[in-house]
Amino acid sequence: MVITNSFTQLTGFQLGYMMAALWSSTGDDGEPLDKNFGIFDIGQDTVDEMIADCNKFTGDNAKDLEDEHMGLAGHDFWLTRNSHGAGFWDGGWEENKGKRLTIAAKSFPDIHLYVGDDKKIHA
């Protein structure tokens, strides 16, 4: 059996993004996914997609993200791209920077997480 361990290579941005994804998504029981699942429960294909999106966002917006708390930035990227009613525009970010990051995040499609038959989290 091969065990992949991409989690040891996560950046603060990626970790913040994944934790926000679990916190703000609910299972079939209506409970937040982070109540019963952690990042190690995210399926590898979904992890790979999340990392790719995070890398694209941080690469494209490096100037606006420099010197920022990257875990918070990852959290706000998830919330903003998925229209959760909070994110880059609602505080903590310099106004013009928050506007640019909001526009950039909204260029990514919404993602919805679910628990698969394999008991892993998928997008």
Give the largest CA-CA distance in the chain.
Answer: 49
Q: Where are the domains of the chain?
A: 10-122
pLDDT at 69: 87
pLDDT at 9: 83
Q: Which of 108, 109, 87 is nearest to 98 (CA)?
A: 87
Tokens linked to 91: 């505080």
Q: Is the model's pLDDT at 68 over the cut of 80? A: no
Residue ranges in 10-119 assigned as alpha helix (H): 12-24, 44-60, 62-65, 70-81, 95-106
Q: Which of 115, 118, 92, 91 is nearest to 36 (CA)?
A: 115
Q: Is the model's pLDDT at 2 over the cut of 60? A: no
In tens, the pLDDT along 83-122 reads 998 999 887 899 999 999 999 999 999 999 999 999 999 9
Tokens linked to 72: 């918070």
